[in-house]
Structure 1
């Protein structure tokens, strides 16, 4: 694993680069250009930057209109606020199959002291209910850049989920993102751990800690949904235990996606989920991740229990 940065930072850099190549890329902003890292785009492309203020519902409508006119709008806000306008997303983006990229930053517990009123913890669940909306959550910078190239040239309605916390690079040189295809970032046996975004490098660290106990979990990065069902079935079926770790509510997210696939296997592995079972709390991020067992020590302990 290499240098640390947050996926929102990588997004901001990649957004400017793809906009230089694709002039149909525009940004619709919700008074959070600094926090969502869309400010550099505004500075370089002021005529392609539309500020709607603290009005996510309006921004979604504006973005849907731009998409219907042939633009590829990236509408950016905190994931909690953006997906909180679910009716507008349903009506204007989903139902019209409008090619909008909804960019939700500050995913999960890492927003810390601002607490559950600003934590993106139920965003994946909401977006998964819309049959034509694709979900993307990169695990590192290499994946951000490749996802952004994909999103700039694609026309599907999409939700891009980004983290605030710095993350190390987890992919080896030569990695290529393919939509819906899970990627094994650490080979192992007996237990397979499925994760997304910020939990991927933490799960890799947890796997390293478990080596001393003779437990070698396979760690899989599921960075886009809907996921390839056959690929997940092969991975889960090759292990005695399957675990999902996610910085999201226990219900509705990656666990439900993987669980539905595991449920259909003829010889099902034991299935366990580690996620946020309540509304979340306010506090320093490191304390919150420790409280919910979503730090390396907690994940290692959970997988150790699941491996018994």
Structure 2
């Protein structure tokens, strides 16, 4: 059990050993975003800007224009809060910056909505040339970082605070834009990403006996490739999306747009965080927003049992 931010800190050092153009721009959060190991290993490649994400983004964009592959790391909420600078310095200029946003979703807990990364996917998805990555475990984090240092496109890496188990084995191969089927199922495809993948897998084990088990699809990189989604959805006539993010703008919208483009009717549903978020323990928050395993199981059961008319009256 290890958080993807912890995997990031370890693996960044590994991939940087053979990539001397990798530098880190830090925003006074090295211990929280796990760049301390990089700082001690490559001190000459570590730049501290303090509590100044806007300045850090501009600096990182300039370094990218000079041939470096800069990683700028902060809480996802703070980093994407500087959207104007990201738009103009990174996106518009095609600057090859890796923007690392940690503490995704509700798991930051009692610090509350002023620090929760709940809108970051929506913001980054508006920039057509920014690739979004959110690993589900250590295997995927390693392959995503190897991929990120192999090119120079603008990238947003979304990382979780909560420890989570491995859901892939050594045979897994990450391909950008291609969702992977973590667990096959019948009738329904359930899309999720990041820290919600193990939660959804646990939820399926809690479904009543005889309930058809949905397939679990890990949509870990955005934008999704439409042809890959069409191929995955061929056996399914129902789709559910579960995400640790605002209801609008994130994975629900990404998958929903692709489902609408299918040449057949597919029943669609999804849920995430329906307000700005609250302060509380992570357990309390995931329970409140029905994003813990027992309540995910309940929502799946209700979806499978309901009709379109039922949903209209809820």
TM-score, length of structure 1 as denominator length: 0.97
8 A contact 2:33–2:75 mirrored in 1: yes
Within the candidate set 172, 193, 196, 2:193 is matched to 196
1:241-296: CA deviation from partner (whole Å, max 9, x where unpaired): 10000000000001111000101122221110110010000000011001100011
Report how far residue 237 of structure 1 moved.
4.0
Partner residue, 1:177: 174
- For these two proteins, the number of residue pairs brought into alignment is 305
Shift of 1:150: 0.4
1:20 and 2:14 matched: no
Q: Aligned partners of 1:202, 1:38: CA distance in 2, in Å?
A: 27
Q: Distance in 1 between matches of 2:126 and 2:7?
A: 28
SS at match of 2:99: strand
Partner of 1:304: 301
User: C-alpha distance in 1, partners of 2:173/2:21?
Assistant: 24
Match of 1:119 among 116, 119, 122: 116
CA offsets, 1:142-161, max 9 Å, x none? 00000000001111100000
Cα contact 1:135–1:160 (8 A) shared by 2: yes
Structure 1 residue corresponding to 2:159, chosen from 153, 158, 162: 162
* Structure 2 residue 145 is the aligned partner of structure 1 residue 145: no
Q: Tell whether the 8 Å contact from 1:190 to 1:307 is kept in structure 2 after alignment.
A: no
User: Would the aligned equivalents of 1:215 and 1:304 in 2 still touch at CA under 8 Å?
Assistant: no
With normalisation by structure 2, the TM-score equals 0.96
1:237 touches 1:267 (CA, 8 Å); kept in 2?
A: no
Q: 1:294 aligns with which of 291, 294, 301?
A: 291
Structure 1 unpaired stretches of 5+? none
Partner SS for 2:14: helix
Which position in structure 1 is the counterpart of 2:312? Answer: none
State the shift of 1:234 in Å: 2.8
Alpha-carbon separation, structure 1, partners of 2:234 and 2:254: 16
Alpha-carbon distance between aligned partners in 2 of 1:121 and 1:287, rounded to the nearest angstrom: 17
Q: In structure 2, what is the equivalent of residue 271 of structure 1? A: 268
Displacement of 1:211 after TM fit? 6.0
Counterpart in the other structure of 2:54: 57
Structure 2 residue ranges without an equivalent (≥5): 306-314
How far is 1:233 from its partner? 2.0
Structure 1 residues 198-237: aligned runs within 5 Å: 198-210=195-207, 212-237=209-234
Match of 2:91 among 91, 94, 99: 94
Write the distance in 1 (CA, Å) between the matches of 2:17 and 2:34.
Answer: 16
In terms of mean alpha carbon deviation, does 268-277 or 125-134 score higher? 268-277
Structure-2 separation of matches of 1:58 and 1:180: 31
Question: What per-residue deviation string (whole Å, max 9, x for no partner) do you get for residues 97-131 of structure 1?
Answer: 00000000000000000000000000000000001
Rounded to whole Å, the distance in 2 between the matches of 1:231 and 1:30 is 37
